[in-house]
Amino acid sequence: MTTLSATLLLLTIMDPLGNLPAFISALRPVSVEARPWVIARELVIALLIMLGFLFCGHWLLGLLQLREEALFISGGIVLFLIALKMIFPDPKSVDEDIHSEPFIVPLATPFIAGPSVLASLLVMVNSQPEAMGKWLVALLMAWGITAGVLLLSPLIVRVLKERGAMAVERLMGMLLVMISVQMFLNGLEHYLKR
């Protein structure tokens, strides 16, 4: 996997455009002036979580005694389920009853640093531990693009409108289905070769 393909994978999973409606909904109780600061804080927390998984992921796999194949297959399944939710969203899934400023949950995690992003980081590190610099660059690029999109969210929502955001989310979901199936097949291939 190249740096560009890893960046696109992480960016597709983070899905900043698809998460815009839920992100805006979670920020409703926050004053308009404070929103950029809250978004920036949550982005930094999410980055710290992802960096922790990137650098400690190999150690975590060893501690839990997980094989690479299990990670590929389970990561593929998780990505597939998330992709299905992106393609066929549940209208009741967006929580409209948040009454206080969000902190870590749900913005930093699971909206930005969700389980599928963390699983993907673990898979990348475990499959090519010698390419840590490449994975770090890919993570920082995907996070930077996500940060830009989320910080510009008021403008983007006005331009895309609800239907445009839904269309982008479904397109990202289709791409994620293909990536998840390939991940699953890679895990099966590694398992059958042993």
Over residues 84-106, the pLDDT tens digits come to 877 887 766 544 444 567 788 77
Judged against a pLDDT cut of 60, whether residue 188 lies above it is answered with yes
Read off the pLDDT of each residue in 152-167 and give the average, rounded to a whole number.
77
pTM of the model: 0.72
Helix (H, G, I), strand (E, B) or coil at 18: helix
Cβ neighbors of 139 (< 8 A, separation 6 or more) are 10, 50, 51, 54, 121
Domain count, the chain: 1
Q: Residue 187's domain spans which residues?
A: 3-26+34-90+104-193
Q: How far apart are the first and last CA of the chain?
A: 22
For the chain, the farthest-separated pair of C-alpha atoms sits apart, in whole angstroms, at: 57
In one letter, which amino acid is 9? L
Tell me what pLDDT residue 96 has.
43
Helix (H, G, I), strand (E, B) or coil at 83: helix
Q: Work out the pLDDT band at 160, boundaries 50, 70, 90.
A: confident
Q: What is the pLDDT of residues 42-89, one digit of tens each?
A: 999 999 999 998 999 778 878 888 777 787 787 778 778 877 877 887
Share of the chain above pLDDT 70, in %: 94
181 part of a folded domain: yes
Share of the chain above pLDDT 90, in %: 27
Mean model confidence pLDDT for the chain: 83
113 part of a folded domain: yes
95 part of a folded domain: no
Tell me what pLDDT residue 75 has.
72
Q: Work out the pLDDT band at 154, boundaries 50, 70, 90.
A: confident
Q: Work out the pLDDT band at 132, boundaries 50, 70, 90.
A: very high
Judged against a pLDDT cut of 60, whether residue 11 lies above it is answered with yes
99 part of a folded domain: no
